[in-house]
Amino acid sequence: MLLNYTATPIQEIFDPLLDQHGIRLLIKREDQNHPHISGNKWWKLKCNLEEANRQHKKTILTFGGAYSNHIYATAAAAKECRFESIGIIRGEETLPLNPTLSFATSTGMKIQYVTRENYKIKSEHEFINSLIEQYGDFYLIPEGGTNQLAVKGTTVFAQEHLSKIEFDYLFLPVGTGGTIAGIINGLNGERNVIGVPVLKNGRFLGDEIKPYLNQDYSNWSLLTEYHHGGYAKTTPALMTFIQQMEVEHQLPLDHVYTGKLLWAVMEEIKKGAFQKGSTILALHSGGLQGNNSKITNH
């Protein structure tokens, strides 16, 4: 049982701003690693699916909003690895199905909607037991996919792929903290890792990340001011920026994660935050499926 993986290229961005500040900007195009299980989702799901297989589970159950990249990727991964899948979706059913849920159901994922009140207790023992009573035995992956096995997968990604690239600073978007934790571990305290939380008041993510770290690493930080209003929120300036990156650099971005990431990179360069001659590597973490819909939920 293996997920198919395609090796991904590194794209260099050439721009007058970079020339002015003497900065080299590389994009690790991990969005191209799989048609449907793209970006960091591939690495977060890999070890979880291997563990589900080891436990002889036949069904994967997970949680997410109606536009969730995680739901989309999990549905595709479960089908590819021949698991049944169940998606517990926050909120009420809305028809016709949006592109995310339409794709998920096309893979065979069963969808169950729960109220926002019940969704808040999704991790409680009683709620999980009710799902077991309803669906029988399953392998549970948390919302967003972050757990110890997800961090293990992203650690391997950093060790096998990122560590071999020459760079001074690594930028990546942060939603739940699992990916950045694994990458910090995989780089073993070397280079500078900078996370860009895509939700408002993202300082709390530091406390979410630390328990997953192998050591008390000091080579990472979070830039919390680039959320553009909150999770899945946007601004006209951000949307214009995303369009410009597509047209000028043939770099497709989404407005939930990677658009905010590259915006932060460019703004930090404008501020003169990096020494002349530095190389920045930005991780394109996928999520482009969200461009098929106006995303309002995680």
Written as six digits, the tokens of 144 are 């967003």
Chain segment 155-164, per-residue pLDDT in tens: 999 999 999 9
pLDDT at site 295: 43
Q: What is the DSSP code string of 116-176? A: HHHHTTTTSHHHHHHHHHHH-S-EEE-GGG-SHHHHHHHHHHHHHTGGGS--SEEEEEESS
Is it the case that residue 293 has pLDDT exceeding 90?
Answer: no
Calpha distance 238→240 (Å, rounded): 5
Chain segment 74-102, per-residue pLDDT in tens: 999 999 999 999 999 999 999 999 999 99
Dihedral (CA of 96, 123, 296, 220) sign:
negative
Helix (H) or strand (E) segment spanning residue 75: helix 69-80
Dihedral through CA 63, CA 98, CA 76, CA 26, nearest 10?
Answer: -90
Q: What band does 291 get if pLDDT is binned at 50, 70 and 90?
A: confident
Evaluate whether 259 touches 236 at the Cβ level (below 8 Å): no
Chain segment 223-273, per-residue pLDDT in tens: 999 999 999 899 999 999 999 999 999 999 999 999 999 999 999 999 999
Question: What mean pLDDT comes out for the span 189-213?
Answer: 96
Which residue reads 């563990």 in tokens? 51
pTM of the model: 0.93
Is it the case that residue 41 has pLDDT exceeding 60?
Answer: yes
Size of the chain, expressed as the number of residues it contains: 298
Evaluate whether 44 touches 153 at the Cβ level (below 8 Å): yes
* DSSP reduced 3-state for 22: coil
- Map out the domains of the chain with their CATH numbers: 10-35+147-292 (3.40.50.1100), 40-145 (3.40.50.1100)
φ/ψ of residue 174, rounded to 5: -130, 125
User: Mean pLDDT across the chain, nearest whole number?
Assistant: 95
Q: What band does 1 get if pLDDT is binned at 50, 70 and 90?
A: low
Evaluate whether 271 touches 16 at the Cβ level (below 8 Å): no
